[in-house]
Amino acid sequence: MAKQSTIRTPIVCVMGHVDHGKTSLLDRIRGSSVVSTEEGAITQHIGATLVPIDAITRMGGALSKVSVNVPGLLFIDTPGHHAFTTLRARGGALADMAIVVVDINEGFRPQTIEALQILRNYKTPFVIAANKIDRIPGWRVQGNQPFLKTFAQQNERVQGMLETKVYELVGKLSDLGFNSERFDRVSDFARNICIVPTSALTGEGLPDILMVLIGLAQRYMTESLKVSAEGPGAGTVLEVKEERGLGMTLDVILYDGNLKVGDEIVVAGNDQIIETKVRSLLKPRPMSEILIEERFERVKSVTAAAGIKVAAPKLDGVIAGSPLQAVRGGNRDEVIERVRHEVQDIEVNLSDVGVIIRADTIGALEALSKELEGHQIQVMRATVGPVTRHDVIEAGTIKDPLYSAIIAFNTPVLPDAIDALVDTSMSHVSIFEGGVIYQLIDDYVEWRDEKKQ
Ligand code: GTP
Ligand code: MG
């Protein structure tokens, strides 16, 4: 029987440096749309916000000119790039698109650059929100207006200042190998990155950023967004959390099919595949009902794309970033194999001689290894989890001393690993720890180049 395919909601990750306005941008999008009926209402999901197409149309912008066939946008916002790298699907990034938020007055900061490098490595389309335009001295606020309308109301000096700042961003993007332009001057989305000046505080430029995202989605990804709404659910585990009264739960972003209470599901644990059964599916209650005792509303089923909390037995040990697959119609073995494959199938090319890398999640490990590959730095072993004593000894006995290093991204170094370093025989091993990939790489390269001399 041929499956009915529909176009699912694209998943958009919001990325950028701390405090540049990621959360505010989403809050403002939620707040700007006054909604009276259920139909077309912006809804809060687990780890995500769903903005239906009607809500986007209501906000205006140049959207009316674009023929729309995507049902809306599902935004994911978590601090840092955690969400982007954790959320994997079929060995690639789960997010279909991204917004990189940059404070137009501060320009690029370390995490902005990191976000861009990750997006480049995964070939994920994105748009830049040049945020906080209301902070440009002399700015006259035109609340919620599309950018060109508000820009026309500014005096020449303010307009000039905004242009200068936008061109600074264009220059920085060019250093990283991206062509970009202010969005209203871009005619070919495939060749130029759009920069949309915005204010998350006043809502200016928000209609435009939504319009650009919809435009990107319908021009470049309607094929990849075709899913079967009837099929067994497939998703990625964003977080594993204990909830009072529910026990261990999974926050899941569902990207294909549907998930029902009672479904058999397969997820990956630390060292084994876990099979269990969905006991409940939970959605957060609307904001207005936040004081109600029950924070979650129980639903019987959910269709992609959506963020949902899954309660089930036996969830201890499930890893963030694990695939979640529903089993339906006797394909259990096949599903288990697929999940196992997806967890093991990290795209890292290992060499006999190279650095040892560690990260907190599979996706983070993959992001780090892609960047190392770009720098022609060989990797000998790539594993999830903290740095162990064994890692230190292994790094210390490697033939080429330029690779006697461990790179630990977002993951701690265990005390006995530090003890091992102190052992005189391993004191030549260096451990590089941190939460920004390119800084880790810079530190390693500096250390290596010093050793070379
Ligand atoms: P993290 O989640 O910590 O990485 O930060 P974030 O990027 O989510 O930033 P957030 O939205 O929390 O905003 C940080 C601060 O900047 C808050 O005090 C916001 O009110 C302020 N802010 C965000 N956007 C704007 C803007 O467009 N204009 C002005 N004036 N302030 C803004
Ligand atoms: Mg935030």
**Does the Cβ of 96 fall within 6 Å of ligand 1?**
no
Average pLDDT estimate for 74-89: 74
As for the ipTM of the complex, it is: 0.99
- State the ligand closest to the CA atom of 20: 1
How high is the pLDDT of residue 2? 43
Known binding residues for GTP: 16-23, 77-81, 131-134
Contact 85, 121 (CB under 8 A): no
pLDDT digits over 375-414, tens only? 999 999 998 889 999 999 999 998 899 999 999 999 999 9
CA dihedral of 298, 300, 305, 308, whole degrees rounded to 10: 30
Q: Residue 55: phi, psi to the nearest 5?
A: -65, -40
- Measure 418 CA to ligand 1 centroid, in angstroms: 38
How high is the pLDDT of residue 367? 87
Residue 3 has pLDDT above 60, yes or no: no
Mean pLDDT of the chain: 88
CA distance 356 to 353: 9
Name the band, by pLDDT with cuts 50, 70 and 90, for residue 362. Answer: confident
Is 118 exposed, middle or buried, given 0-12, 13-18 or 19+ CB atoms closer than 10 A? buried
- To test the pocket of ligand 1, the residue of 19, 103, 136, 165 to mutate (highest count of ligand atoms within 8 Å of its CB) is 19
The ligand 1 atom at the shortest distance from the C-alpha of residue 133 is: 27
Average pLDDT estimate for 244-248: 90
Angle at 307 between CA 211 and CA 37, to 5 degrees: 65
Candidate from 31-40, 100-109, 180-189 with smallest mean pLDDT: 31-40
How high is the pLDDT of residue 79? 64
Name the band, by pLDDT with cuts 50, 70 and 90, for residue 36. Answer: very low
The ligand 1 atom at the shortest distance from the C-alpha of residue 132 is: 27
The DSSP bridge partners found for residue 227 are 6
- Measure 131 CA to ligand 2 centroid, in angstroms: 14
Known binding residues: 16-23, 77-81, 131-134
**Does the Cβ of 201 fall within 6 Å of ligand 1?**
yes
- State the ligand closest to the CA atom of 102: 1
The ligand 1 atom at the shortest distance from the C-alpha of residue 198 is: 27
Helix or strand holding residue 211 (H, E): helix 206-220
The model carries a pTM of 0.86
Q: CB atoms < 10 A from the CB of 444, how many?
A: 21
- Measure 200 CA to ligand 1 centroid, in angstroms: 8
Name the band, by pLDDT with cuts 50, 70 and 90, for residue 1. Answer: very low
pLDDT digits over 114-137, tens only? 889 889 988 899 999 999 999 999
Say what percent of the chain tops pLDDT 70: 90
How high is the pLDDT of residue 59? 77
Name the band, by pLDDT with cuts 50, 70 and 90, for residue 94. Answer: confident
**Does the Cβ of 20 fall within 6 Å of ligand 1?**
yes
How high is the pLDDT of residue 32? 60
